[in-house]
Chains A and B, each alone.
Chain A
């Protein structure tokens, strides 16, 4: 393989990894606060469709991404009201959110279906990315850099700030955190809204950086892979980034399977299914690791009801 192909593969990999990384970072924070929001896929679809609509109406990418984040955060807050205020079952409510997001995006996206969306490029001057190797550094869409910055930011927030400490405490032992005077519900609302906003931005990646148009179910299960990724990364941001790039690699085989003969050994459907199958295999592999389950936030998925 020539270096051009390697660079092309690495570039596509980064692009494919970015939305799941963004969504998974959001979900990581949500889960660290003790909430399991299975609605990532639905929130991503909301973000994606809003991005398409705003981009096609205003042409303003930044506005589009901001609206996507806000809309997905709003969707997340519906989940929040149900699970946090009304203490509904988190698994069922998360599923309902995905069903709602799928339905909403299908309805809302109809007028925009098939229209081509202008994509966003690299934030760096084009001259920097003329050489193929330099392109690897400076030629990605702005989302790729944003996701990597967010990895550091989320790590720093969780490990180095007092707010992050409180958030972890709420996810670790909600009753104790409550008895110490921290607002468990408040912290969780904030985390859920953040997770929603990140899923919205992840959704914006699809039309703006990957497939520049709207089609129904545009995100094709990447939200679920993001959820698996959080487990895979044992709730650690840097491992999350590594995992996302691994899945990014799994996802691009499909693209190359169509063009390159070396992939023909197996049907193209196999390569398309590979990311999902790889997710299952990876989940099994990490379960073999001893730390696996014990690194999960202790209150994950359990409703909190304050006494008194």
Chain B
């Protein structure tokens, strides 16, 4: 017996939905085995990381907290990747967005008014978009690969944050700590479910995903993004400008990453600190793929990945599993999803050896 791949006439829509679920399930099985072999409690790791956060109702609010930035960033990345724009520097745009919004926050820290919060958010979006505009410009004007530039700018953004926290942004009352002032009440996201830690950013994440889905599926802009990504020559033939699409994809993905950044600063963190870059921008890449580059998929995938984060934190305490294990599980999910892609496009047929030999 041997297996042969046969191209499907049409990519299977059903498998497109089923394979991410399959990837998660196989990750649980394979991850459990691998961690057992590495000398950890493999079964416990899978139980804690994938199931405990779901079974423990008290942890659901944590899921909302972790999922919100992942979803917002991943929605933007989904649009960019569909357009074949490989923005992998969302982490940097997230940081710069938070910096820009915090800049407004520092200036308005003593003021009151309803307008402060939207202004900070706007500054966050603008900051992220502006930071993404650099690689966009370089790609459109100079044909410089955006993978490398977005990533290099991410490293630079961390140093920018360090510099600002050590000097210009440092709170006068921080006793030498590299951090900004705490945001005031008018600068902090409200709690939307009383008695929980769920803030406005969770609601905004869902709204962002819904709006993106509507635009993507119903409007010419979504069509343009898909054509440019799938067949650039056809896009030009159809009268869509590739350069304009690159610009839009970069600005949207950067703007949303910046939005997520300032929401995180105004919400769960409450100020800017050295530990602010938590890697959401990188993890959102996994979320975007796991969500099949679909805005609504990003919501489900964001929750899924949030489960592993919350579960990883629980596993640290309950079974002393290092938090780095979460990264491995997340990478495995992405690997298995990418590996399963071939099933969407091809059908596996078993053939007898005799058929091949003759």
Contact = CB atoms under 8 A, between A and B. Distances in A.
Contact of A283 (B149, B167, B286, B325): B149
B322 A91 contact: no
A66 interface: no
A205 B149 CA distance: 25
Given A87-B342, A99-B327, A276 B156 contact: yes
B328 A86 contact: no
Interface in B67-117: 86, 88
Given A100-B328, A103-B324, A103-B327, A287 B342 contact: no
Contacts of B43: none
Interface residues on B, range: 35 or more
B155 A221 contact: yes
A273 B158 CA distance: 9
A267 interface: yes
A272 B159 contact: yes
Nearest to B137: A284
B261 to A, nearest CB: 18
Interface in A274-297: 276-277, 279-280, 283-284, 287-288, 292-293
B191 interface: no
SS of A interface (majority) = helix
Nearest to B289: A92
A99 B151 CA distance: 14
Contacts of B325: 103, 107
Q: Could you say which of A220, A269, A284 has the most chain B C-beta atoms within 10 Å of its C-beta?
A: A269
Interface stretch (A154-162, A169-177, A224-232): A224-232
B352 to A, nearest CB: 18
B147 interface: yes
Given A103-B327, A270-B163, A277-B156, A96 B335 contact: yes
SS of B interface (majority) = helix
A216 B144 CA distance: 30
A283 B341 contact: no
A280 B153 contact: yes
Interface in B273-331: 282, 285-286, 289, 322, 324-328, 330-331
A270 B145 contact: no
B231 interface: no
Interface string A29-40: 000000000100
B342 A78 contact: no
Contact of A228 (B142, B148, B159, B331): B148
Interface string B325-351: 111101110110011011000000000
Interface of B: 38, 86, 88, 134, 138, 142-145, 147-149, 151-153, 155-156, 159-160, 162-163, 166-167, 282, 285-286, 289, 322, 324-328, 330-332, 334-335, 338-339, 341-342
List the 10 shortest-distance A-B pairs measured between CB atoms, nearest first. Answer: A103-B327, A106-B324, A100-B331, A269-B163, A107-B324, A273-B159, A88-B338, A103-B328, A269-B159, A287-B142
Interface of A: 38, 78, 81-82, 86-89, 91-93, 95-97, 99-100, 102-104, 106-107, 110, 216, 220-221, 224-225, 227-228, 231, 267, 269-270, 272-273, 276-277, 279-280, 283-284, 287-288, 292-293
